Amino acid sequence: MADAKVIPFDDDRSRGGGGKSRRRSGAGRPRRADGGGAAGAEAALSALPGGQGSADDEGADRTDAAGDPAGDASAPSADRTAPPGTEAADAVATALQSALMSALPRLLGGGWERRASDALGFLRRRLTGDYEVDEFGFDAELTDQVLVPLFRPLFEKYFRVTVKGVENIPDTGGALVVANHSGVVPWDGLMAQVAVRDYHPADRHLRLLAADLVFMMPFFNQLARKGGHTLACADDAARLLARGEVVGVMPEGFKGIGKPFADRYKLQRFGRGGFVSTALRAGAPIVPCSIVGAEEIYPMLGNAKTVARLLGLPYFPVTPTFPWLGALGAVPLPTKWTIEFGEPIPTDGYPPEAADDPMLMFNLTDQVRETIQHTLYKLLVERRSVFF
């Protein structure tokens, strides 16, 4: 398998990230003039014994030079009748063909031939190495064809996420999405990624800044890179914003996802305001994001600190189902989620030296935190229950 080509980040954006597979129109793909699979199936059935134009019917019409039927002189005349049951068999075959052709679109969905062609093309590019990644390892085609569709059923059917205000993320240019963090396992970041990709009018990608631990774990580190995410450091964030990407950050970090159930929806400290400094230097707007529903997927009752220290983890959660039920206890509860993106806070009106002003960074950090906290309280009051 050939190596993947690494292209400049700007070139990757010019292609629009590949677009979502379910929204592609399929323009430029050749269409079969014979109507596709239905005509092929009719031709196959017509070649069966007893079908129209079969070899047996042709042989029945063949005669010798004297006008007698070909073959043995004792053979019946050319006006022989078909064996009993032939007409019934033809009728059954025709009915089966019609039923099959009408059932395929219902079983596989409309446009199944195009989707099958897309899937085969995707596999061919994977096998030949004819695909591209950017300098961070982001594989737009893999994200749109595999990763987002993999999480979409959880988003739509399991957590039943309601998305609000996604249009507050600008259609073009860099933006910094700042969200609360919770849930023991960071499902909230993945659901926010699907929300932006599926609901934003410009089909944008959310590039999350992840903790060091993610990139130290085998398999998950490569998966995170392929999905467009990178290390939570100022340099990577600045480079992404400078290239006009939507960057996601959750300043609570491990303090957010590892907090006990009694402190749910109470925001932890937002660090030292590094994300504000990054946004100021890039002149990118800050979009507050509030996520309700993730706090209850794993109600954390305690933290086994000794076990966590032995495993090298920031915490080891104890929930009503984990570790008592083993792997089954790791299944999240099917809570009802809401993700709301607030109005953007502009930063392009500040002078370049504003990024070094600690008081300004403190004020903006506090403004973002308070906006998220108030929105969380509002969403909690509005929701009917945890699960519905």
Whole-number pLDDT of residue 94 = 82
pTM: 0.71
Whole-number pLDDT of residue 116 = 76
Do the beta carbons of residue 252 and residue 270 sit within 8 Å? yes
- CA dist 244 and 168 (Å) reads 15
Whole-number pLDDT of residue 97 = 74
Q: What is the pLDDT along the chain (388 residues), one digit of tens a residue?
A: 444 444 444 444 444 444 443 333 333 333 333 444 444 444 443 444 444 444 444 444 444 444 444 444 444 444 455 566 678 877 887 887 777 777 766 766 667 677 778 888 888 888 888 889 999 999 999 999 999 999 999 999 999 999 999 999 999 999 999 999 998 998 999 999 999 999 999 999 999 999 888 898 888 899 999 999 999 999 999 999 999 999 999 999 888 898 999 999 999 988 788 899 999 999 999 999 999 999 999 999 999 999 999 988 898 999 999 999 988 999 999 999 999 999 999 999 999 889 999 999 999 999 999 999 999 999 999 999 999 8
Whole-number pLDDT of residue 110 = 64
Instruction: Kindly list the strands in the beta sheet with 206-210, ordered across the sheet, starting from the edge strand earlier in the chain.
Output: 162-164, 338-341, 286-292, 175-179, 246-249, 206-210, 230-231
Residue 340 has phi, psi (to 5 degrees) of -120, 125
Do the beta carbons of residue 168 and residue 346 sit within 8 Å? no
Whole-number pLDDT of residue 200 = 97
Q: At what angle do helices 86-108 and 112-128 cross, to 10 degrees?
A: 60
Give the CA-trace dihedral at 279, 282, 284, 289, to 10 degrees: -30
Whole-number pLDDT of residue 82 = 55
Whole-number pLDDT of residue 114 = 79
Whole-number pLDDT of residue 113 = 75
Whole-number pLDDT of residue 44 = 42
Whole-number pLDDT of residue 85 = 64
Please report where in the chains the tokens 């042709």 appear, as a residue.
58
Classified as helix, coil or strand, 315 is coil
Whole-number pLDDT of residue 240 = 96
Q: Look at phi and psi of residue 129 and say left if phi exceeds 0, alpha if psi is from -120 to 50, else beta.
A: left
